[in-house]
Every structure is written in structure tokens, then in C-alpha cells.
Amino acid sequence: MRTIRVTGKGQIKVKPDMTRITMTLDGLFKDYGETLRHSSDETEALKDVLSAFGFERADLKTLNFSVDTEYESYKDRDGSYKQRFSGYRFRHMLKVEFPSDNDRLGKVLYALANCKVRPEFRISYTVSDPEAAKNTLLGKAVADAKEKASVLTQAAGVTLKDIQTVDYSWGEIDFEYRPMNGDVMMECCTAPMAAKSYDLDIEPDDISVSDTVTLVWEIG
């Protein structure tokens, strides 16, 4: 059986409609149990802050959590460098998402910048229905493969028959737009303000994504 194998590429631009705040809590303590307790207490404090702006406590989602031993170098009496135990460092990365609203965002960022746990945070934008966007992208990739296959077979004087295989990676597509890095975000949100909000005028750009799919046809 003769076949033709063609890879199609789909490209789309999606307007983001969701705002994502990613927060990181970090702390170093001598005792393992104390480290876990501080992590839990600070997470609950974040939930308390966010609940004042209409979020449910379950809306704060963990992205990554780790506890690692940490050591520091020191110079011994004989001049040699050695390592000694510093403690256990926890790192808890969390996120919260909501329909884009600059007024609400400004108030939440002000509260985060001035709350007692003072997390590192950054903002980004995403889409509320990534599956619909993925399906549109996949459809465009298949249509592109069909168009290429039609041109190739017509030029070669053969005909397309049934599709034999469809090869798609099903990889994760990143529907996230980051308008500024974390350092810039923190600088913007540590300046003193008269009102308990930051005046933000952010209009995120469209998110450009692409993907490929490979189809194999029988040709006659």
C-alpha cells in the first residue's frame, strides 16, 4: 500500500479573559514541624486576605510545594570550609484566577503587598475555556494537513484515499500571557498609595499558540 504522510500546523490568537495571580510563600526554620506549621499558617492567612474580595477558600490552588534541608558554609578554626545545617526551607507556590477586572485586581494586589505574610507574586492572563481553543487549534492543523496533501497528490498525479493514521502529541499548550516579570510586579506594588488599591490599566495582548498534527493517507 502506498501512503503519503503530511504534517499540518494550526495557529490561532486567543483573547485572554481570566486573570491569574501566582503567589509564592517561602520560609526557613530549624524544626521540620515548625516549618510545616508556618507554611500552613501563612497559607491560611492568604486565604483570609482573598476571602475579603469574594474568593472562596478553595479558590486558592497549590501549584507546587516542597520542603528541603538547607546548609550554610562556614570557616573552621583551621581555615577549612565546612557545612552546617541551617534548617528546613519550605516553598509553596499557589494561584488564584478570576474573570479579568482591573479594579478588583488593583485591590487584591494592594492587599497582598501589605498583608502580614508578604508573598512574592506576579500576574498573568489566561483563557476561561482552554479546551475550546485547543479544539479550534486542532481543527486548523488538520485542515492545513488536508490542504497540503491535496496540493502534493495533485502535483504528483495521484489521488488521496482513506486516512490511515492520525498522529497527535496531546502535549500541554500554554494559554498564559505574562505582561511583566515578578521583580517589576513587586516594585510596582511596594510604592505607597493613598487609597487601598493600585490603579492598574492593563490590556493584555492576544495569546498566540500553535500546534501540529500528522496524518497518513493511502494514495492510489
The pLDDT score that the predictor gives to residue 180 is 67
Question: Residues 51, 98: contact at Cβ < 8 Å?
Answer: no
Give the separation between CA 149 and CA 83, rounded to whole angstroms.
Answer: 63
Three-class secondary structure of residue 79 per DSSP: coil
Check if CATH label 3.30.450.20 holds for domain 12-130+170-215: no
Give the domain ranges of the chain.
12-130+170-215
Average pLDDT value for residue range 100-105: 92
The pLDDT score that the predictor gives to residue 187 is 46
Average pLDDT value for residue range 122-128: 94
Q: Over 60: is that where the pLDDT of 44 sits?
A: yes
Q: How much of the chain, in percent, has pLDDT values that exceed 70?
A: 93
Question: Residues 113, 189: contact at Cβ < 8 Å?
Answer: yes
The pLDDT score that the predictor gives to residue 182 is 53
pLDDT in tens, 128-138: 999 999 999 99
Q: Which of 2-6, 16-20, 59-63, 202-206 has the lowest mean pLDDT?
A: 202-206
Give the separation between CA 63 and CA 24, rounded to whole angstroms.
Answer: 10
Q: Over 90: is that where the pLDDT of 31 sits?
A: yes
Three-class secondary structure of residue 180 per DSSP: coil
pLDDT in tens, 150-204: 999 999 999 999 999 999 887 788 899 988 655 444 544 544 444 577 777 788 8
Strands (E), the chain: 3-14, 18-29, 61-75, 81-99, 120-126, 160-167, 176-177, 207-219
Give the separation between CA 117 and CA 141, rounded to whole angstroms.
Answer: 46
Q: Which one has a higher pLDDT value, 195 or 67?
A: 67
